[in-house]
Amino acid sequence: MMTTRPIDAVLLDMDGTVLNSIRSAERIWGEWAADHGLDVEAFLPTIHGVQSVETIRRLAIPDMDPLVEAAKITQAEREDVEGIEAIAGAAEFLAALADYSWAIVTSAPRDLALSRFGAAGLPMPPLLIAAEDVERGKPAPDCFHLAAKRLATTADRCLVLEDSVAGVQAAEASGALVLVVTETHHVPMDVRHPTILDYRDLAIEKCPDGTLSITRAADDLTGQWISYVLRAPILD
């Protein structure tokens, strides 16, 4: 059985969704956590999917300025891109979206996001919504609402690809359709949304009417196929 979902745009998270920066991020954050006497193994799972300043703010370490510490972390991450690589099939998927409405929506600062995109060899997004573009980061839905608005639509008409709990919660709160990328998951995420391991699990086809069909293979349990039909480009 095939379920068809019309959409106006595709909104993608960055880290863990189109590229894998885990080795770089955990290397830097691990050193920072050790320097501050934290349990590194317990701390590292908390860094994913949210803004750095929020990660530090939640620790509530006395006499620590989260903005200052987050800036140090960001600078270190910007300089250390070793091991960053694209999720399998991501480059081809983004290339297929080239003439359509899509954006990267990330909790990373803009300059860090651009640095990681370059390191992963991915095509630069036509629209990038970064940490400094919204007052409230994920799991608040503000970033997805802003991206949709700038693409002349609304979030409930978008497909969001995410990998983290905070990101999925933000997408849900925005009303968007959600597709979860699990390539970087070491522990299965309990979600009610369709999942893919990586972009090789998607079939992309440009239709005669100009729309783009993005089809997820049948689920092993339900046997259900899902096709997201992306609106044709609006010509000037």
What one-character-per-residue DSSP string does 129-161 give?
Answer: E-GGG-SS-TTSSHHHHHHHHHTTS-GGGEEEE
Which position among 8, 13, 163, 201 bears the catalytic label? 13
Are the beta carbons of 168 and 191 closer than 8 angstroms? yes
SS3 10: strand
Instruction: Tell me phi and psi for residue 136, to 5 degrees.
Output: -110, 125
Q: How many residues does the chain have?
A: 236
Structure tokens at 94: 């983004």
Which position among 8, 15, 163, 198 bears the catalytic label? 15
Q: Provide the pairing of β-strand 128-129 with 102-105.
A: parallel
Q: At what angle do helices 52-59 and 66-79 cross, to 10 degrees?
A: 140
Q: Is 99 a catalytic residue?
A: no
Q: Is 111 a catalytic residue?
A: no
Q: Provide the pairing of β-strand 19-20 with 85-86.
A: antiparallel
Active site members: 13, 15
